[in-house]
């Protein structure tokens, strides 16, 4: 156990969950993780994924628990557990039914991306050629998400849709896992325009440690990563940033294929990869699993962040954001 006084929160993971990983979260002093429980799953399939999590909560009550509120996180920390926050990378779990927003909120969901790479019923994904912005249903769903306390996440959405979501949402939104394009130009990373609008509206960016989002991919150094964070803090302010590691630990390559192609195409789509780099890319040496959050603390200090600012980036900002976001209006 390596718990810090201050909070350590990860804004996104999609690991191949196991007791081993839950123990690593505990060893790493990770107090809360937003876990993806749906990529392309429909409502019933998402519920099946929740059922699996319920089994894990029952099997490992000393390691993990479900977080419905920010307070659940501090209680989990006090009990030495990692709080799990449910989220979707795609609005597929609500199908075409706005009533499912509140149903899924009641079941614990606290984040939902309005699109995942492709056009959805709500918004455009970052790999589409054309982005007509938030749809009619999208506007209604944002309003409903605002009402119940489910955070709009635009990590995989296209630029115009993202800017419109920031504008339409009455509550701050999140980009839980992405990096700035000024550091590494990737379709999934975000422009200065988006990052500034996000920050000005009170939203949050979670820095990704997924190799395709890193300058130099798996060879990216911790110093380069933390220097990028310092530049982003200059752009967005120290209060609007945290981590969203996008850690996909222990997943077979079949899972990255599922993420990319789901059931929407019969062809192979390599997403952020390529034909000769189709699987999960290797992680940078300084962030391999949940025990490595301590290295991020060191890296931030060495990049010149004060102790107080390190605490904000490590989890304090996410905690404040969760406190403001997870309750009904």
The CA distance from 11 to 305, in Å, is: 20
Q: Quote the CA–CA distance of 224 and 227 in Å, as a whole number.
A: 5
- Size of interface with its own copies, in residues (CB under 8 A): 17
Part in contact with its own copies (CB under 8 A); list of ranges 94-102, 130-138, 199-207, 211-219: 94-102
Closest distance of CB 281 from its own copies, Å: 34
* Closest-CA residue to 220 (of 157, 158, 296): 296
- The 119-158 site mask, x for binding its own copies (CB under 8 A), equals ----------------------------------------
Q: Burial of 294 by CB count in 10 Å (0-12 exposed, 13-18 middle, 19+ buried)?
A: middle
Contact set for its own copies, span 62-91 (CB under 8 A): none
Which residue number, 68 or 260, has a Cβ lying nearer to its own copies? 68
Q: Which two tokens stand for residue 302?
A: 């060495």
| Minimum separation from the CB atom of position 101 to its own copies (A) | 10
Structure tokens at 266: 């019969």
Instruction: Note the helical H segments in 94-246.
Output: 99-106, 136-148, 159-168, 192-200, 222-236
* Burial classification of residue 329, based on how many CB atoms lie within 10 Å of its CB (0-12 exposed, 13-18 middle, 19 or more buried): exposed
Window contacting its own copies (CB under 8 A); options: 103-111, 135-143, 156-164, 202-210:
103-111
Residue 288 found at the interface with its own copies (CB under 8 A): no
Please say which residue, 97 or 302, places its beta carbon nearer to its own copies.
97
For its own copies, give the closer residue by CB, 51 or 267: 51
Measure CA 117 to chain center: 15
Which tokens hold the place of 236?
């967005």
Q: Which stretch binds its own copies (CB under 8 A): 2-10, 98-106, 171-179, 196-204?
A: 98-106
| 3-class DSSP assignment, residue 249 | coil
Q: Which of residues 204-263 bind its own copies (CB under 8 A)?
A: none
| Min CB(327)–its own copies separation in Å | 16
| Nearest residue to 122 (alpha-carbon basis) of 143, 149, 108, 147 | 143
Among 103, 121, 255, 261, binds its own copies (CB under 8 A): 103
Closer to its own copies by Cβ: residue 107 or 123:
107
Neighbours of 239 (CB within 10 A): 17
Asked if residue 110 lies in contact with residue 151, where contact means CB atoms within 8 angstroms, the answer is yes
Between residues 48 and 78, which has the closer beta carbon with respect to its own copies? 48
How many helices, marked H, and strands, marked E, lie in the chain? 12, 9
Q: Are the C-beta atoms of 9 and 296 separated by less than 8 Å?
A: no
User: In whole angstroms, how close is the CB of 144 to its own copies at the nearest point?
Assistant: 10
Chain positions 40 to 59 lying near its own copies, rule: CB under 8 A, are 43-44, 47-48, 50-52, 54-55
Contact stretch for its own copies (CB under 8 A) within 27-35, 79-87, 105-113, 185-193: 105-113
Contact residues for its own copies (CB under 8 A)?
43-44, 47-48, 50-52, 54-55, 97, 99-100, 102-103, 106-108
């Amino acid at each position: 156990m390596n718990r810090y006084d201050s909070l350590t929160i990860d804004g996104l993971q999609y690991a191949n969950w196991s007791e081993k990983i839950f123990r690593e979260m505990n060893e790493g002093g990770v107090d809360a993780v937003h876990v993806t429980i749906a990529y392309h799953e429909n409502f019933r399939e998402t519920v099946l994924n929740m059922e699996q999590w319920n089994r894990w909560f029952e099997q490992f009550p000393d390691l993990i628990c479900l977080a419905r509120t920010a307070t659940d996180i501090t209680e989990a920390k006090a009990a030495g557990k990692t709080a799990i926050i449910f989220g979707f990378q795609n609005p597929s779990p609500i199908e075409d039914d706005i009533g499912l927003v509140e149903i899924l909120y009641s079941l614990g969901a606290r984040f939902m991306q309005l699109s995942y790479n492709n056009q959805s019923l709500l918004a455009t994904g970052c790999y589409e050629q054309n982005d007509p912005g938030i749809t009619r249903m999208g506007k209604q769903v944002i309003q409903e998400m605002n009402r119940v306390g489910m955070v709009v996440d635009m990590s995989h959405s296209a630029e115009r849709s993202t800017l419109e979501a920031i504008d339409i949402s009455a509550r701050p939104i999140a980009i839980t896992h992405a990096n700035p394009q000024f550091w590494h130009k990737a379709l999934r990373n975000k422009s200065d325009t988006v990052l500034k609008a996000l920050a000005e509206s009170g939203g949050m960016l979670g820095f990704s440690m997924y190799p395709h989002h890193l300058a130099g991919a798996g060879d990216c150094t911790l110093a380069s990563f933390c220097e990028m964070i310092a530049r982003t803090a200059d752009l967005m302010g120290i209060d609007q940033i945290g981590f969203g590691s996008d850690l996909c630990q222990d997943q077979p390559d079949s899972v990255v294929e599922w993420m990319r192609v789901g059931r929407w195409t019969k062809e192979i789509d390599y997403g952020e990869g390529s034909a000769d780099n189709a699987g999960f890319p290797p992680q940078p040496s300084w962030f391999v699993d949940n025990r490595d959050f301590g290295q991020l603390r060191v890296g931030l200090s060495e990049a010149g962040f004060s102790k107080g600012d390190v605490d904000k980036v490590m989890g304090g900002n996410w905690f404040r954001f969760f406190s403001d976001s997870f309750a009904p209006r």
